[in-house]
Amino acid sequence: MASGKPDHDTGTLGKAVAVLDAVAASNTPMRFRDLAAHIDQPRGTLHRQVSNLIEEGLLEVNADQSYSLGFRLLKFAARAWSGSGFREIAEPHLKALHERTGETVHLGILKGIEVIYLDKVESLQAVRMHSQVGNSSPCYCTGVGKAGLSVLPNAELKTRIANISFNQFTETTLMSEQALMSELDQIRASGNAYDREEHEPGIHCVAAPIFTNNLSVIGGLSVTAPCYRVPIEKLESWAEDVRSVAKAIMEELPIKLGPRA
């Protein structure tokens, strides 16, 4: 009988990454017993992984014996962020789009079936939302995620979608492969993707894909706003601007910036 725990039989590094993933994803502090219940590793192996991560500064032990991500990871994140050629090229364009719309602008990259946010220019009238630089979100219920999916060849697209577990975040979340594929056809036709309160209630966005010719970079940008302040008609009026900015960024991207998304 399956244990229901994630299977991370990928060698020592994979087991360590599984621990970091679990701590990073948890909304509450995790103790050893929580990790043991969540990760499919023998307790002795898990204990060694935790001890090694603490020794290397990748995990910190809190006063209540729970675990937090270590400060050494911040150094890695800062170096990765500052060294992102994609982000550096996009940055002035994001600021220009923000000045044009007055709302929050996101830049994200598609990794597997998730979107990782690389940059964010906050609205002057900021509303609390899930997105933060470095955070990830599901691709099927976010504008940037769907924009990125739309440029994939059909065979690869179907492979990725087969790995999605459709979770209903809101009443409008797409909940099936058929519904997602139908929407991706519309995105390909129009050049714009929308998040219609699909990930967070009261928040919607318009997005467009960004990609290199060889698809070594696949991502997108979006303008995000609260529904109470920006009606859908106004959001749709920004669609052409979003496409134009995405195109301007793509014109500056080198053919290959890094490994395939």
Confidence at residue 38, expressed as pLDDT on a 0 to 100 scale = 87
- Tokens 């219940």 belong to residue: 37
Count the residues in the chain: 261
pLDDT band at 7 (very low <50, low <70, confident <90, very high): very low
Classify strands 136-138 and 193-196 as parallel, antiparallel or unpaired: unpaired
Confidence at residue 133, expressed as pLDDT on a 0 to 100 scale = 65
Instruction: State the amino acid at position 229 in one-letter form.
Output: R
The first and second tokens of residue 172, run together, are 């409008």
Q: Each residue of 142-194: pLDDT tens digit? A: 999 999 999 999 999 999 999 999 999 999 999 999 999 999 999 999 999 99
Confidence at residue 8, expressed as pLDDT on a 0 to 100 scale = 43
Confidence at residue 188, expressed as pLDDT on a 0 to 100 scale = 97
pLDDT band at 2 (very low <50, low <70, confident <90, very high): very low
Name the percent of the chain lying above pLDDT 90.
52
**Over residues 113-132, mean pLDDT:** 76
Report DSSP letters for 181-246, one per residue: HHHHHHHHHHS-EEEESSSSTTEEEEEEEEE-TTSSSEEEEEEEEETTTS-HHHHHHTHHHHHHHH
Say if residue 140's pLDDT is above 60: yes
Instruction: Report all structural domains of the chain as residue ranges with CATH numbers, in order of start.
Output: 11-76 (1.10.10.10), 83-252 (3.30.450.40)
In angstroms, the CA 56 to CA 251 distance is 41
Give the CA distances from residue 54 to residues 29, 81, 147, 158, 261, in Å, rounded to whole numbers and listed in that order.
15, 24, 38, 39, 30
Q: Average pLDDT over the chain, rounded to whole?
A: 87
Confidence at residue 83, expressed as pLDDT on a 0 to 100 scale = 47
Residue closest to 120 by CA, chosen among 132, 129, 110: 132
Residues contacting 3, CB < 8 A, separation 6+: 40
Q: Each residue of 24-52: pLDDT tens digit? A: 878 788 899 999 888 888 988 898 998 99
**Over residues 83-93, mean pLDDT:** 82
Strand partners, 193: 207
Strand partners, 121: 105
Residue closest to 143 by CA, chosen among 206, 87, 80: 206
* CB environment 169-199: b (16+ within 10 A), e (fewer): beeebbeeeeebeebbeebeeebbbbbbbbb
Q: Each residue of 213-261: pLDDT tens digit? A: 888 889 999 999 999 999 999 999 999 999 999 999 999 987 656 666 6
Confidence at residue 254, expressed as pLDDT on a 0 to 100 scale = 79
Confidence at residue 4, expressed as pLDDT on a 0 to 100 scale = 43
In angstroms, the CA 192 to CA 148 distance is 11
In angstroms, the CA 40 to CA 36 distance is 7
